[in-house]
């Protein structure tokens, strides 16, 4: 570990009241939770208990014209920074009511509001750091604007000693790294994304929309960085900022999980030139091995499953990779940068990769201890099933997804009778459209599989097998294989405080909410512009690609374009391949071939023994996959009355025409929010004799677009000023990662307005 002084503290700020201006200090006390006294209070609506939320709700924007400070730990506020009052004083109540048009009160976070404790709108990393270089760069871009740090609410303003910056602001070099200021150690966590708050009028600062537009166009909307506290203490004006850095090529790497993704990450790191220690911890007794052959048929049953190692003992020794078999990691201590195994041993890391995969889901109460219920996740699971299949005459498979179908095909290849049960009406219904699922089902039926689809039987494990009862009819089998999916094994990450949601939330390179920790494989839920809620992909290709991307991120190397997702499954003599991200509700564009069909959908293709076409498609990057689909042309209909509907068809879908109301429901230039049962909440817009409808929720900031404003044929989000074309929904001047919005055709006819709503799939 080395240190290097790279900046000097120029200003320190504390903001006792959320969203209000703060106080400039000579010394800033830093606790483990952040600056002492910072953002202790919030303003709440006396009538509703709603927290003041500027920019997203315009009536709260005036909070930026209030300043706050602590005097002997008592909150004081001012609207002119001359006269200071307690928030409950009559003068303060009068001033805030004049600003907001309603009564508000300052409440300490955690205090009882009657039905819930007062809590902030969101929790960021506790400290915001901004450089004078970033401020000066913005001033040069906006010479006519008033730019100073108050507009951006930093806790620390640091001077990195540079006259100008050619690329990113210098504070970005602190992301993912620890650094010291005075006797405080901080860690840069992520860039600080900016919103419409930066444009608001403040004491001494006029309203200025050009600020956010310039941040979006020149700074990727980010300005400054967030930091978390590693070691508390005091920071003083003129303290030096010293960077503590780790040579990532020599960093200590620990990988939790000895599966496909974990082993490939270790190998990738070595291939990229990493020379530091790498340790893999795994629960199993086997060296890392390939998962797909667990169910891909060979020449018989799963009893013949053999170990296809990804990293053998000899290879691990040659690559200087330590593999701890049967060593379970039980906790992660992020503050010390270490993991603890079940033996009590602690192992420090500079970078941690979590690749713990997933665990099979089970029907509660299904197993009664007779060993006739199987689930497959490991090679030992597959071997146990294989031994049972050697004497089985009939088996039940619960779940008609990929795993269940592969096991059914494997069993039929050994002459075993198979019954497949699923509550859905066709196989693979969670990922594939019905046409494809029906084709796959027909293949299995030809091979003698009995399907019980749309059913929820009652299973009972007995001493001599398993009994299934459907609608009063019973059937017996020698065993049941449960194939109803997996859940992400994110228990360790949740205990460590990482952001999780049925998987560890990461970016496309596996980076988690902790810059020292990465998550890859089945346990990772990747977020990006197209999937802001996250997407968890369970596939061999995804495990390998994420391993490589995480390794490159750790090494600080440039990433290749994201490959198109791909999946495959061998069933009988068929190889089913998918390129692109499948969607069961996708619109079919074309299909060719009978015995070996190829289905083309909007964003993916499915081929049966069509490797050449699938390969060509999979070579495209994800951003190149979307193909155009013919859209509906407006069709004139008869006039009706409010509430009536009619339907017409286009080449690919059916369109429902709803009566919105009279043409005079909107004034020229008006935006109105309307709720429609079959569609959701829309923002309706009138410009002259043109009418538009767009989803009301901004897909980036979750703000109401009807709270925004109109510029030409664009509606502007009130939070980040993202602009959405009212006809296409396409974004311009938008924050990075902002998706397009969904629009609907509005047709004026006579005295009425009609909304055209496409169906979600083929009818």
pLDDT average, residue stretch 399-422: 94
Outline where DSSP puts E strands in 72-114. Answer: 74-78, 104-108
Report whether pLDDT(391) > 70.
yes
Do 208 and 259 form a contact (C-beta atoms < 8 A)? no
Interval 627-666: pLDDT, tens: 322 222 222 222 222 344 454 444 445 677 788 888 888 8
Cβ(428)–Cβ(405) under 8 Å? Answer: yes
Which carries the bigger pLDDT value, residue 375 or residue 618? 375
What is the rounded CA–CA span in Å between residue 455 and residue 662? 47
Same-domain check for residues 141 and 201: yes
Inter-residue long-range contacts of 244-247, CB under 8 Å, 24+ positions, other chains counted:
244/1, 244/2, 244/3, 244/177, 244/178, 244/179, 244/180, 244/185, 245/1, 245/2, 245/4, 245/177, 246/1, 246/177, 246/350, 247/276
pLDDT at 438 over 90: yes
pLDDT of residue 642: 34
Kindly indicate the confidence band of residue 703, based on its pLDDT and cuts at 50, 70 and 90.
Answer: confident
pTM of the model: 0.57
Instruction: Tell me, yes or no, whether 632 lies in a domain.
Output: no
For residues 36 and 176, membership in a common domain is answered with yes
pLDDT grade for 3, boundaries at 50, 70 and 90: low
561 pLDDT higher than 80: no
For residue range 377-387, what is the model confidence (pLDDT) as tens digits?
Answer: 888 898 899 89
Report the mean per-residue pLDDT for the chain: 85
The two structure tokens encoding residue 538: 């369970």
Q: Which of 71-85, 154-168, 233-247, 286-300 has the lowest mean pLDDT?
A: 286-300
Same domain, 258 and 354: yes
For residue 555, the Cα-to-chain-centroid distance in whole angstroms is: 23
Is the pLDDT at 328 greater than 90, yes or no? yes
- Which residue shows structure tokens 């994110």? 490
Token duo for residue 77: 């506020």
> Residues 145-173: what's their mean pLDDT?
88
Q: Does residue 298 register a pLDDT over 60?
A: no
Q: The domain containing residue 273 runs over which residues?
A: 253-295+314-359+488-555
Average confidence (pLDDT) over 148-163: 92
pLDDT above 90 for 364: no
Whole-angstrom Cα distance, residue 682 to residue 63? 28
Q: Are residues 209 and 72 in the same domain?
A: yes
Q: How confident is the model at residue 558 (pLDDT cuts 50, 70, 90)?
A: confident
505-536 pLDDT per residue, tens: 998 889 898 888 999 999 999 886 567 777 88
**H or E stretch covering 505:** strand 504-506
Tokens of 658: 């709803």
The mean pLDDT value for 438-459 works out to 94
Give residue 295's pLDDT: 53
Q: Please report where in the chains the tokens 């990393």 appear, as a residue.
A: 125
In a domain, 30, yes or no: yes
Contact 275/253 with Cβ under 8 angstroms?
Answer: no
Tokens in use for 535? 């997407």
Q: Is residue 197 located within the same domain as residue 325?
A: no
Residue 324 clears pLDDT 90, i.e. is over it:
yes
CA distances from 537 to 388, 505, 606 (A): 30, 12, 17
Asked if residue 31 is part of any domain, the answer here is yes
Lowest mean pLDDT of 94-108, 303-317, 454-468, name the range: 303-317
Q: Do residues 172 and 85 share a domain?
A: yes
From 245, 268, 286, give the residue that closes a domain: 245
Helix axes 402-413, 434-446, angle to 10 degrees: 20
pLDDT given for residue 640 in this prediction: 28
pLDDT classification of 2: cutoffs 50, 70, 90: low
Percent of the chain with pLDDT over 90: 50
Q: Say yes or no: 287 and 230 in one domain.
A: no
CATH number at residue 613: 3.30.390.30
Mean pLDDT of 338-365: 92
Q: What is the pLDDT of residue 602?
A: 82
* pLDDT reading at 493 higher than 70: yes
Per-residue pLDDT of 564-586, as tens digits, reads: 788 888 899 888 999 888 999 98
Q: Tell me the CA end-to-end span of the chain in Å, nearest whole number.
A: 64
Within a domain: 671 = yes
Three-state DSSP at 253 gives strand
Give the pLDDT of residue 653.
Answer: 52
Task: Please tell me the predicted confidence (pLDDT) of residue 542.
Answer: 87
Pick the range with the lowest mean pLDDT from 223-227, 336-340, 623-627: 623-627
pLDDT of 24 = 95
Phi and psi at 544, nearest 5°, equal -70, -45
Looking at residue 628, its pLDDT comes to 29
639 found inside a domain: no
Same domain as 186, residue 37: yes
CA-nearest of 41, 42, 223 to 148 is 223
150 within a domain of the structure (yes/no): yes
Q: What pLDDT, in 10s, does the model give residues 729-748?
A: 888 877 666 788 999 999 88
Closest to 731 (Cα-Cα) out of 719, 718, 721, 740: 740
Structural domain contains residue 259: yes
pLDDT, residue 450, reads 97
Tally of structural domains, the chain: 5
Q: Residue 662 belongs to a domain with what CATH number?
A: 2.102.10.10
* 705 pLDDT higher than 90: no
* Mean pLDDT confidence for 242-260: 86
* Listed residues 500, 521, 555: the one ending a domain: 555
Question: Which CATH number belongs to the domain containing residue 478 in this structure?
Answer: 3.50.50.60
pLDDT tens-digit profile of 69-106?
999 989 999 999 899 999 999 999 999 999 999 999 99
492 and 480 in a single domain? The answer is: no
Least confidently predicted of 3-7, 324-328, 537-541: 3-7
Residues 377, 353 within the same domain: no
The predicted structure's pLDDT at residue 144: 93
Q: With 50 as the cut, is the pLDDT of residue 150 above it?
A: yes
Same domain membership, residue 500 and residue 474: no
The CATH number that applies at residue 136 is 2.40.33.20
**According to the model, what pLDDT value does residue 299 have?**
37
Domain boundary among 435, 455, 484: 484
Are 65 and 168 in a shared domain?
yes
Residue 636 lies in a domain: no
């Amino acid at each position: 570990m080395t240190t290097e002084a790279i900046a000097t503290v120029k200003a320190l700020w504390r903001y006792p009241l959320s969203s209000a201006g703060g106080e400039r200090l000579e010394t800033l006390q830093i606790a483990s939770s952040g600056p002492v006294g910072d953002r202790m209070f919030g303003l709440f609506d006396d009538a509703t208990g709603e927290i003041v939320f500027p920019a997203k709700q315009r009536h709260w924007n005036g909070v930026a014209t209030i300043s706050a400070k602590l005097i002997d730990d008592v909150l004081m506020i001012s609207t002119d920074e001359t006269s200071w009052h307690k928030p409950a004083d009559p003068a303060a109540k009068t001033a805030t009511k004049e600003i907001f048009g309603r009564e508000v009160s300052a409440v300490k976070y955690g205090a009882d509001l009657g039905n819930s404790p007062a809590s902030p709108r969101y929790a960021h990393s506790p400290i915001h750091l901004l450089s004078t270089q970033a401020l000066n760069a913005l001033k040069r871009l906006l010479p006519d604007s008033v730019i100073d740090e108050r507009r951006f609410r930093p806790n620390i303003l640091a001077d990195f000693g540079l006259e100008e910056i050619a690329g990113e602001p210098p504070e970005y070099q602190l992301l993912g790294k620890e650094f010291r200021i005075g006797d405080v150690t901080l860690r840069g966590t992520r860039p600080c994304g900016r919103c419409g708050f930066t444009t608001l009028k403040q004491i001494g600062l006029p309203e200025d929309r050009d600020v956010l537009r310039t941040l979006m166009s020149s700074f990727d909307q980010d300005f400054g960085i967030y930091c978390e506290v590693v070691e508390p203490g005091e920071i003083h004006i003129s303290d030096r900022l010293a960077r503590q850095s780790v040579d990532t090529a020599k960093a200590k790497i620990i990988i939790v999980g000895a599966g496909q993704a974990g082993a490939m990450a270790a190998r990738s790191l070595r291939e990229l030139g990493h020379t530091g220690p790498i340790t893999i911890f795994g629960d199993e007794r086997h060296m890392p091995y390939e998962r797909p052959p667990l169910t891909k048929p060979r020449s018989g049953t799963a009893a013949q499953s053999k170990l296809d190692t990804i990293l053998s003992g000899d290879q691990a020794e040659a690559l200087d990779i330590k593999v701890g078999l049967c060593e379970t990691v039980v906790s992660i201590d992020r503050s010390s940068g270490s993991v603890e195994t079940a033996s009590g041993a602690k192992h420090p890391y500079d970078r941690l990769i979590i690749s713990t995969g997933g665990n099979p889901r089970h029907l509660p109460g299904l197993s009664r201890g007779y060993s006739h219920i199987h689930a497959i996740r490991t090679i030992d699971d597959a071997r146990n099933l294989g031994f049972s299949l050697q004497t089985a005459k009939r088996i039940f498979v619960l779940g008609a997804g990929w795993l269940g179908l592969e096991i059914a095909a494997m069993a039929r290849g050994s002459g075993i009778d198979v019954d497949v049960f699923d509550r859905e009406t066709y196989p693979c219904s969670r990922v594939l459209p019905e046409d494809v699922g029906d084709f796959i089902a027909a293949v299995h039926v030809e091979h003698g599989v009995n399907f019980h689809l749309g059913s929820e039987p009652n299973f009972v494990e007995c001493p001599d097998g398993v009994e299934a009862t459907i609608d009063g009819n019973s059937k017996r089998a020698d065993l049941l294989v449960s194939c109803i999916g997996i859940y992400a094994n994110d228990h360790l990450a949740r205990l460590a405080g990482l952001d999780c949601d049925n998987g560890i939330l990461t970016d496309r390179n596996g980076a988690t909410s902790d810059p020292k920790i990465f998550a890859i494989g089945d346990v990772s839920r990747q977020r990006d512009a197209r999937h802001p809620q996250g997407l968890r992909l369970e596939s061999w290709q995804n495990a390998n690609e994420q391993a490589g991307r995480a390794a490159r991120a750790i090494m600080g190397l440039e990433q290749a374009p994201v490959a198109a997702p791909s999946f495959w499954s061998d069933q009988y003599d068929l190889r089913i391949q998918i390129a692109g991200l499948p969607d069961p509700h996708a619109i079919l564009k074309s299909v060719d071939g009978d015995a070996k069909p190829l289905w083309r959908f909007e964003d993916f293709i499915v081929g049966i023994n069509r490797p050449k076409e699938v390969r060509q498609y999979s070579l495209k990057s994800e951003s190149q996959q979307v193909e155009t689909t013919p859209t509906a042309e407006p069709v004139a209909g008869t006039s009706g009355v409010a509430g009536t509907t009619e339907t017409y068809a286009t080449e690919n879908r059916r369109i429902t025409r709803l009566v919105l109301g009279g043409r005079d429901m909107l004034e020229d230039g008006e935006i109105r929010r309307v709720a429609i049962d079959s569609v959701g909440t829309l923002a309706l817009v009138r410009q002259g004799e043109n009418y538009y409808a767009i989803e009301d929720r901004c897909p980036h900031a979750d703000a109401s677009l009807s709270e925004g404003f109109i510029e030409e044929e664009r509606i502007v989000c009130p939070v980040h000023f993202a602009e959405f074309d009212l006809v296409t929904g396409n974004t311009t001047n938008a924050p990075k990662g902002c998706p397009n919005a969904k629009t609907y055709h509005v047709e004026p006819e006579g005295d009425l307005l009609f909304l055209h709503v496409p169906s979600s799939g083929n009818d």
